[in-house]
Amino acid sequence: MPPIKRTKFKLSPEQLLEMYYWLKHIRAFDERLSALVKQGRVRSGVYTGIGQEAIIVGTCYGLRREDYICPLHRDLGAFLMKGVSSRTMMAQMLAKSAGLSKGRDSALHSGVPELGIFGNTSMLGANLPVAVGLALSYKIEKVDHVVVAYFGEGASNVGDFHEALNMAGVMKLPVLFICENNQYAYSVPLEKSMAIDDVADRARGYGFDGVAINGNDVLAVYQSTQGALARARAGDGPTLIECKTYRWHGHSEHDKAFYRTQEEVAMWRSRDPITTFTTYLTGMNVLTDEHIQEVDARITADIDDAIAFAMDAPDPDPADAVTDLLAT
């Protein structure tokens, strides 16, 4: 059977392989970061997105540089896909001067305006009104850029979520609300915090579409995102995309997640987004053993280099703690 030329998603084999690369790169970065935590090398809280990679790849793939993302603490892969190098990201996590914030914060709150990345806040859900403000600026400026804002199902229970969706719906703003529903708000299971099955249902109350999808299927995430982006750019307002997924590790690397059963974790691991996409690409004659070995080698070299760079990078100078400050 000859290789396919294009999928129903209008993606070429080269694009599919690029998505595959990013899935594996993001997974490998998080796994190495988890190992560094255990070695006592990381000077920050680490919240890996292992198991949730399809959401980041499906939503970030194809974004314009001018499109803003508002990532969560678990979305380091979004930084990488938006253009932050592995070296800079690893230096950030090790609190080195070569990192985004030059060692000033806990590694999770830095933004990169020139790449369209807005730094997250510790109060989860508080990034959503900010995303709406960014989207409003795009509407005022009459440009067709879009804001992609990430949040968890737990954050959909706070006031910021509802205020943000209400304003976005009323003003038909170009913003995508991406719910990373990984079933637990820290240790609180979904059924203990919501009386509905789908966060996506909440969009209807604010006058726009919401859809619940398989968040472990990178092509389903991509397809839903592309449709939502097209509507937003055309002036048709926001969309809420709920991606149902699961985090393999605890809330953070110091959380042993005793509140979950082994059976539950095993069931979700069997739905690994990388394994399923690998099977799909192999069946479509897009991915070969040679491709897999090439990608693995490329990723290993990149992350090895990033770790070596971050380890050797100088610690921040205490005198710099009072520089780069804004007084208002």
Tell me, yes or no, whether 2 lies in a domain. Answer: no
Asked if the model's pLDDT at residue 1 lies above 60, the reply is no
pLDDT at residue 70, as a whole number:
96
Alpha carbons 139 and 174: distance in angstroms, whole number: 7
- Residue range 285-296, pLDDT digits in tens: 999 999 999 999
Look at residue 127 in the predicted model and tell me its pLDDT. Answer: 93
Residue 4: inside a domain, yes or no?
no
In a domain, 212, yes or no: yes
- SS3 at position 68: strand
Q: What one-letter code names the amino acid at 220? A: A
The residues that bridge with 242 in the sheet, in sequence order, are 179, 212
Residue 42: the pLDDT is 87
Average pLDDT, the chain: 93
Would you state the structure tokens that stand for residue 171, as one six-digit string? 């003003």
266 in a structural domain: no
- pLDDT at position 6 is 52
How many CB atoms within 10 Å of residue 249? 20
Residue 262: per-residue pLDDT:
94
Q: What is the predicted pLDDT for the residue at 319?
A: 83
Read off the pLDDT of residues 134-186 as tens digits, 9 standing for 90 and up.
999 999 999 999 999 999 999 999 999 999 999 999 999 999 999 999 999 98
Asked, for residue 131, whether it belongs to a domain, the answer is yes
The range of the structural domain enclosing residue 306 comes to: 13-261+271-311
Residues 58-74: tens digit of each pLDDT: 999 999 999 999 999 89
Whether 184 maps to a domain, the answer reads: yes
* DSSP conformation class of 65: T
The CATH number assigned to the domain holding 168 equals: 3.40.50.970
- Residues 113 and 162: their CA atoms lie apart, in Å, by 26
Check whether 8 has a pLDDT greater than 70.
no
C-alpha count within 13 angstroms, C-beta hemisphere, residue 187 = 8
316: in domain:
no
Q: How confident is the model at residue 2 (pLDDT cuts 50, 70, 90)?
A: very low
What's the average model confidence in pLDDT over 14-26?
97
Strands 184-185 and 188-189 come out as antiparallel
Residues 6+ apart with CB under 8 A from 194: 153, 156, 157
3-class DSSP state of 181: strand
CB of 62 within 8 A of CB of 11?
A: no
User: Is-contact 134 147, C-beta < 8 A?
Assistant: yes
Average pLDDT over residues 12-33: 97
Q: What is the dihedral of CA 242, 237, 7, 20, to 10 degrees?
A: -50
Does any domain span residue 320? no
Task: Specify the number of domains making up the chain.
Answer: 1
Which two tokens mark 164? 């943000």
Report yes or no on whether pTM surpasses 0.85: yes
Overall average pLDDT of the 106-113 stretch: 81
